[in-house]
Amino acid sequence: MNRHQLPTGLPEYRFPVDPWRLVERVYSNDDLGLTETLFALGNGYIGMRANPEEGREAHSHGTYLNGFHETWPIMHAEDAFGFAKTGQTIVNVPDAKLMKLYIDDEPLLLASADLDSYERSVDFRNGVLTRDMIWRTPAGKRVRVSSQRMVSFQHRHLAVMTLEVTLLDAAAPVVISSQLLNRQDGEDEYHVRSAALGEGKDPRRARKFDHRVLQPRLQHERDNEIVLGYRCANSEMTLACGTRHRIETSCHAEIVTDVGVDLAKTVFTVRATPGDPIKITKLVSYHSSNGVPVQELADRCTRTLQRAETEGNDQLLLEQREWLDEFWTNADIELRGDHQAQQALRWNLFQLAQASARTQEQGIAAKGVTGGGYDGHYFWDTEVYVAPFLAYTMPEAARKIVRFRWKMLDAARQRAREMSQAGALYPWRTINGEEASAYYAAGTAQYHINAAVVLAMRRYLEASGDIEFMSHEGAEVLVETARLWVDLGFYSSNGSQTFHIHRVTGPDEYTTVVNDNFYTNVMARFNLRYAARTVRFLASWNPEAFAQLCRATDLDVGELDDWDAAADAMFVPTDEELGINPQDSEFLDLEPWDWETTPPEHYPLLLHYHPLVIYRHQVLKQADVVLAMYLRSERFPVEQKRRNFDYYDPITTGDSSLSACVQAVVAAEVGYEEVALEYFTRSLYLDLCDSHGNTADGVHVASAGGVWAGIVHGFAGMVEQGDHIEFSPRLPSAWEGVTFHLLRHGSRMRIDLDIDGLTLTVLTGSGVPLKHNDESLLVTVDEPYRILRD
């Protein structure tokens, strides 16, 4: 639906406003998928959906480890040469969240429980999911049940849970069955919503397997520790997961453990008396690997659990708080004048922390570690939407993200060969480095991912100044990606000697396999030039690294001229009459979409029209020309941005979750304050209001990154120019002010945005080079700098 046809206002925002927490005060079975995602915990490695301790009703009892996946042969209904062969799907690892409670042998079941009070919240300052309630049992006894859950930001392989039960009225036998349950190979996935989804054909959801994925390899039990070990049937990835329990109570308690291949239980039976709390602490560890034996992983689990036990719960909570304190110091955005937006903003930023804290050179999946959507695949969107946030707030995490792509370089070289090309071609979707996109038109054909990888590296370099990375890993990627573009495109023989790239798909997946996609050509041009310039710089700056690069990539210096020549000759679609950039060479020839006769329930279009019907029309999933205006902002005058925005915005459905945040940034830049705020608001609440209807499958992490960009690049108008930055403040008049921080080359700065402009204050470091009103200067800690609104 294009903007002007959207029903005004947002879907209902059903959470009490709180600046630092997401809170739920009424339990509901109606949107479990949504709340499992919104309250999910993760640290970039371990991810736990917010299923209650009792298990039972769920959209998906998901627990994920970044990169831990099963493979399967992609069976194409009609195969062809070079089609992706290896499907990759993130595995739902054994569920350690379960701590089932029985009082008088009656189970606590939230859906039917008689609750005197209920509150669940995730606190962005300490990363703890807390639930407190008073339950009136079927026998009429009141019981206080409090639980806490935390996935450690500090300890990659650790999660900690506590469950505290206090009888308020009368004594009763209390049983707590704490479990570790392999659900991947069970039957209870998606059992609430599956019927509602028709035949479950939404291609964006995770695959279900018909074979046993987790092959049991080890069951270990000693003292209060249990470890289960598995190996994936096809991918042969290995996994160990362990638990360690402690009970604190003055009541009499017995503990029995029962360990099977798919289920390990630690059952506490307590003769509880009123007023005497029973507190169970459950330490959980996961270790996974590509090739390490299961026994070794089990040993690691044991060590993680022992260390955690030694540290103790309080210390672990303290470290968690410290980690997040530092995160918020650099990444927080304070928004004055809209409390609800403030809450939503911090929720989005918290998601970025949860997706990226401990990836350790894995990528960031489209859903982070909060759900199985898109099979847990890595796409281009991390590089384009998340990497800039990381570069200016968590440079170490940014470095991991770009190194992750360097580690995939050999696989990308191999894929380029399969596609009859030189250099390297990054797969459109992947976990293990191999192309997993089964629909090439909206997959493999998105060659632009190569430029996204390079763009992320450049953002990282510019923010961090990590020239060492760029001299080694980065340079290799630059060389191989540039080679791909030069080989993929060709010089037209029609006399113009322009350079063309044909049969590719841009980010807008509502047209595919087109010629001279504007976004692709512009980004390829950037990639080529940046590669040539960087490699030339390296040759003079660090001859040794340059020599090493030449050896590693068999580089001939003449190639650099080829890259520049192709960039110089790059064809960029332009329509003089409309004054815009056509999305591709034939886009303007397409038939307009018939918006009038498209009923609201036909969005997203991809679920209601054959691809050929969509491709045949001027209708966009996301406006990639507008995206190019944002990513290569410094290259295009505002007037060109405005004209392109004016043309494409009305024909953009926003069916892609990557659309709204970009429209917001560019709308802000071209002076459409109201439109910018509307789009920003959409991206801000995209998950919190489930406006795309699939938050159940996991958080839209890239959109969360786009929310940050909406503030920093949109309303503060920050543009990175490599040797300096610039700001163009334009705070929406609906707000009172915004404050955020950036790290750049070791300097930490605070930006205070108000209605008249902004103040840049350098807090630490050697200063920030700035250009403003054609004046170049270095802003230092001594002197805050004021920039007035245009």
259 binds a second copy (CB under 8 A): no
Q: Is 494 a residue that touches a second copy (CB under 8 A)? A: yes
Answer for which of 12, 30, 78, 601 binds a second copy (CB under 8 A) is 78
DSSP-assigned beta bridge partners for residue 245:
282
Residue 201 interacting with a second copy (CB under 8 A): yes
Site for a second copy contains 572 (CB under 8 A): no
Distance from C-alpha of 40 to C-alpha of 98, rounded to nearest angstrom: 15
Per CB under 8 A, which region of 140-148, 293-301, 438-446, 682-690 contacts a second copy?
A: 438-446
- In angstroms, rounded to a whole number, what is the distance separating the alpha carbons of residues 270 and 566? 75
Q: Is residue 195 at the binding interface for a second copy, with CB under 8 A as the rule? A: no
| Window of 80-88, 102-110, 535-543, 741-749 that interacts with a second copy by CB under 8 A | 80-88
Q: Is 441 in the site for a second copy (CB under 8 A)?
A: yes
Q: What are phi and psi of 243, to 5 degrees?
A: -135, 155
Residue 569's contacts (CB-CB under 8 Å, 6 or more residues apart) are 491, 497, 498, 499
Closest to a second copy by CB, 435 vs 687, is 435
d(CA 559, CA 136): 75
Structure tokens at 350: 């918290």
575 belongs to the binding site for a second copy (CB under 8 A): no
> How many distinct helices (H) and strands (E) make up the chain?
20, 32
For residue 586, indicate whether it is catalytic. Answer: no
Tokens, residue 306: 């022992």
The site that binds a second copy (CB under 8 A) totals a number of residues, namely: 52
The whole-angstrom separation of Cα 780 and Cα 764 is 8
Phi, psi (rounded to 5 degrees) for 116: -75, -35
Q: Residue 207 CB, nearest distance to a second copy (Å)?
A: 10
How many whole angstroms from its chain centre is CA 660?
Answer: 16
Residue 70 contacts residue 185 (beta carbons within 8 Å): no
Interacting residues with a second copy between 4 and 23 (CB under 8 A): none
Q: Quick one: which of 12, 30, 81, 198 contacts a second copy (CB under 8 A)?
A: 81
Alpha carbon distance 116, 151 (integer Å): 29
Contact segment (CB under 8 A) with a second copy among 497-505, 628-636, 661-669, 683-691 equals 497-505
Residues 6 or more apart whose Cβ sits within 8 Å of residue 771? 721, 724, 725, 726, 777
Binding-site member from 261, 590, 719, 781 for a second copy (CB under 8 A): 590
Max Cα-Cα span within the chain? 92
667 in Cβ contact with 623 (< 8 Å): no
**For residues 79 and 326, which CB has a smaller minimum distance to a second copy in the complex?**
79
Nearer CB in complex with a second copy: 383/584: 584
Of the residues 509, 559, 678, 720, only one is catalytic, namely 509
> Closest CB to a second copy among 419 and 755?
419
Binding to a second copy by residue 500, rule CB under 8 A? yes
CA distance 347 to 228: 34
Q: How far apart are CA 675 and CA 99, in angstroms?
A: 47
Is 515 a binder of a second copy (CB under 8 A)?
Answer: yes
**569 belongs to the binding site for a second copy (CB under 8 A):** no
Min CB(567)–a second copy separation in Å: 18
Q: In angstroms, what is the minimal distance from the CB of 367 to a second copy?
A: 17
Instruction: Assess 76 for contact with a second copy (CB under 8 A).
Output: yes
Q: Residue for token digits 């329990």?
A: 245
Residues 404-423 that bind a second copy (CB under 8 A): 418-420
438 in contact with a second copy (CB under 8 A) = yes
- Residue 209 CB, shortest distance to a second copy, in Å, is 14
The residue type found at 137 is T
Contact between 83 and a second copy per CB under 8 A: yes
Pairing type for strands 725-726 and 737-744 reads: unpaired
Whether residue 604 is preceded by a cis peptide bond, meaning omega within 30 degrees of 0, is yes
* Under rule CB under 8 A, residue 171 binds a second copy: no
User: Angle of helix 543-553 relative to helix 518-541, nearest 10 degrees?
Assistant: 130
Q: Which is nearer to a second copy, 77 or 196 (CB)?
A: 77
Site string for a second copy, 710-739 (x = CB under 8 A): ------------------------------
Say how far apart CA 655 and CA 608 lie, in whole Å: 12
**Which residue, 466 or 516, is less far from a second copy as judged by CB?**
516
Strand 99-103 to 617-618 pairing: unpaired
Smallest gap, in angstroms, from Cβ of residue 621 to a second copy?
Answer: 13
Taking CB under 8 A as the rule, does residue 568 contact a second copy? no
The reply on whether position 234 binds a second copy by CB under 8 A is no
> In the 3-class helix/strand/coil scheme, how is 341-401 assigned residue by residue?
HHHHHHHHHHHHHHHHCCCCCCCCCCCCCCCCHHHHCECCHHHHHHHHHHHHHCHHHHHHH
| H or E element at residue 758 | strand 757-764
Q: How far is the CB of 414 from a second copy (least distance, A)?
A: 14
Nearest in space to 348 (alpha carbons), one of 707, 755, 735: 707
Binding range to a second copy, per CB under 8 A, among 187-195, 273-281, 582-590, 765-773: 582-590
439 binds a second copy (CB under 8 A): yes
Phi then psi for residue 135, to 5 deg, are: -105, 130
Question: Which residues between 442 and 481 bind a second copy (CB under 8 A)?
Answer: 443-445
Closer to a second copy by CB, 134 or 422: give it: 422
Q: How big is the chain by its Cα radius of gyration, in Å?
A: 27
CB closer to a second copy, 190 vs 530: 190
Among 204, 202, 233, smallest CA distance to 216 is for 233
| Between 515 and 759, CB nearer to a second copy | 515
Question: Which residues are within 8 A (CB) of 40 and not within 5 positions of it... i.e. 6 or more apart?
Answer: 47, 48, 49, 50, 62, 354, 369, 370, 371, 698, 699
Q: Does 222 bind a second copy (CB under 8 A)?
A: no
Instruction: Check: CB of residue 348 under 8 Å from CB of residue 668.
Output: no
Closest to a second copy by CB, 88 or 266: 88
Q: Which stretch binds a second copy (CB under 8 A): 81-89, 173-181, 355-363, 749-757?
A: 81-89
CA 244 to each of CA 47, 145, 280, 512: distance values in angstroms, whole numbers, following the listed order: 19, 21, 10, 52
What's the closest the beta carbon of residue 739 comes to a second copy, in angstroms? 44
Of residues 351 and 657, the one with the C-beta less far from a second copy: 657
Query: CA dihedral in degrees (366, 371, 375, 379; nearest 10)?
Result: 10
Site for a second copy contains 86 (CB under 8 A): no
Assess 379 for contact with a second copy (CB under 8 A).
no
CB nearer to a second copy: pick between 147 and 505: 505
Give yes or no for residue 135 binding a second copy (CB under 8 A). Answer: no
Q: Which of 440, 530, 680, 727 binds a second copy (CB under 8 A)?
A: 440
Whose tokens are 């045949």? That residue is 616
Query: What is the C-alpha to C-alpha distance for residues 336 and 344, in angstroms, rounded to an integer?
Result: 13
Work out whether 79 is an interface residue with a second copy (CB under 8 A).
yes
Residues 598-617 that bind a second copy (CB under 8 A): 606-613, 615-616
Contact between 576 and a second copy by CB under 8 A: the answer reads no
Q: How many CB atoms lie within 10 A of CB 360?
A: 14
**Among 7, 9, 75, 196, contact with a second copy (rule: CB under 8 A):** 75
Which of 437, 553, 653, 683 binds a second copy (CB under 8 A)? It is: 437
CB 668 within 8 A of CB 714: yes
Least distance to a second copy, CB of residue 440, Å: 7
Q: Give the one residue of 25, 252, 407, 503 binding a second copy; rule: CB under 8 A.
A: 503
Residue with tokens 């994936």: 232
Residues that bind a second copy (CB under 8 A): 74-84, 87, 201, 203, 418-420, 437-441, 443-445, 490, 492-494, 500, 502-504, 512-513, 515, 585-586, 589-592, 606-613, 615-616
Instruction: Supply the residues annotated as catalytic.
Output: 509
